[in-house]
Amino acid sequence: MKTIRSLFAVLFATTFILCTSQTTSAADPKALTFAAIQTEEMAILAKAFQPTLEFVGNKVDKKFAFLMTTSYASVVEAMMGGFVHFAKLGPKSYIIAAKKSKGAIKPMVSTARPPHNFNPEPCGCYKGMLITKAGSKFTTIESLKGAILAVSDPASTSGFAVPSALFPKVVGGTPLEKYFGKIIYSGAHTASAKGVKTGKMDAAFSPDTGLSRMIDRGEVKKGDFNYLWTSPVIPIDVIAYNSKLISKELADKVSKAFQSMTETPEGRAALKASKISAFPAANDAVFDNLRVVLAEKARLKKLKKKKK
């Protein structure tokens, strides 16, 4: 473990020197730095990403240094400071980075999840769904007015902020708490779906990815529910780059290299190691729905504070 820590300390120092020396003339730098937040043991995370970075590096004839940080905030600061060319960012962190950098930090490719029961294509996204029990009287959105609604948690983005921000648009702007007769916080997406299946709750909001996993595990069946509403696409993690450090030509080459990974055995093997299904192209506009959701989440938080 000491050896591993020493290795990453040297890597960080080397990366810092390389990037600092290239900041002012880095339209096409010799060495590229890719950063990710440390979500698991360093050696495991490095092993997962190394095949992908080697594949992309070979495609564009560049060497990638892999850097791990302890928070998304530190990744963003490193990018804005000119020390990181590329980074894997969470969707909220990307929005913050794009705003702070005045658009200099741009999305390149999404980190797609595998196809699932509600989406036949790999997608760097999820959608919120409104479900009711199959065979119940709740077969339309209109029939749910005054009904009991289950959501996972008031702090959940997918479980509460997404429907709070986007669902009212289909019911004339009426907030959830006024459209439904009662809102129950189940504590988990699985509990919400099971509550609908057993008839304890009339309806529930759940992300399609979570519901699909329940189906795959045999906890519920797709036919157990009516699907009355599906939200617009909500993005997940994205790989972004700093356009002040990278030329558009190089950025396009790197993007195409990521996207081409599904086309060869070597690329598919690297994807498998990273536990990512594909790297489809990403753009800033897809984050607009999430911006609306986050604004609603901030409003709800402020409202909660006022009530205390």
Mean pLDDT value across residues 107-120 = 94
Residue 265 lies in a domain: yes
Expressed as residue numbers, the domain containing 91 is 2-114+236-289
Percentage of residues in the chain having pLDDT higher than 70: 88
For 142-151, how does the pLDDT look when each residue is reduced to its tens digit (9 = 90+)?
A: 999 999 999 9
Packing angle between helix 189-198 and helix 208-216, nearest 10 degrees?
Answer: 70
> Do 142 and 187 reside in the same domain of the chain?
yes
Q: Are strands 31-37 and 63-69 parallel, antiparallel or unpaired?
A: parallel
For 77-88, how does the pLDDT look when each residue is reduced to its tens digit (9 = 90+)?
A: 999 998 999 999
Last residue of a domain, one of 188, 214, 231: 231
pLDDT at position 308: 62
Q: Are strands 148-151 and 203-207 parallel, antiparallel or unpaired?
A: parallel
Residue 198 lies in a domain: yes
> Do 143 and 220 reside in the same domain of the chain?
yes
Q: In Å, how far are 8, 96, 166, 202, 289 from 16, measured between CA atoms?
A: 12, 23, 42, 55, 35
How far is the C-alpha of 170 from the C-alpha of 284, rounded, in Å? 25
> Do 9 and 106 reside in the same domain of the chain?
yes
> Do 138 and 91 reside in the same domain of the chain?
no
pLDDT at position 156: 82
Domains held by the chain: number: 2
> Do 208 and 145 reside in the same domain of the chain?
yes
Residue 304 lies in a domain: no
| Residue tagged 């459209």 (tokens) | 179
Q: Which tops the pLDDT comparison, 127 or 72?
A: 127
> Do 144 and 199 reside in the same domain of the chain?
yes
**According to DSSP H, which parts of the chain are helical?**
2-22, 42-60, 72-80, 91-100, 162-166, 176-179, 189-198, 208-216, 248-259, 265-274, 288-307
> Do 108 and 150 reside in the same domain of the chain?
no
CATH no. for residue 266?
3.40.190.10
Spatial contact of 278 and 239, defined as CB atoms under 8 Å apart: no
Tokens of 233: 């696409």
Indicate whether 11 pLDDT > 80. Answer: no
DSSP letter (8 states) at residue 179: H
Residue 119 lies in a domain: no
Last residue of a domain, one of 213, 231, 249: 231
> Do 211 and 141 reside in the same domain of the chain?
yes
Percentage of residues in the chain having pLDDT higher than 90: 69
> Do 20 and 155 reside in the same domain of the chain?
no
* Dihedral sign, Cα of residue 171, residue 172, residue 174, residue 179: negative
How far is the C-alpha of 201 from the C-alpha of 122, rounded, in Å? 31
Exposed, middle or buried: residue 154 (CB in 10 Å: 0-12, 13-18, 19+)?
middle
How far is the C-alpha of 133 from the C-alpha of 202, rounded, in Å? 7
How far is the C-alpha of 192 from the C-alpha of 238, rounded, in Å? 28
> Do 245 and 162 reside in the same domain of the chain?
no
Provide the pLDDT confidence category of residue 277 given band limits of 50, 70 and 90: very high
Last residue of a domain, one of 215, 231, 247: 231
Provide the pLDDT confidence category of residue 2 given band limits of 50, 70 and 90: very low
> Do 218 and 246 reside in the same domain of the chain?
no
> Do 277 and 218 reside in the same domain of the chain?
no
Q: Which tops the pLDDT comparison, 94 or 70?
A: 94
Tokens of 41: 């043991």
For 189-201, how does the pLDDT look when each residue is reduced to its tens digit (9 = 90+)?
A: 999 999 999 999 9
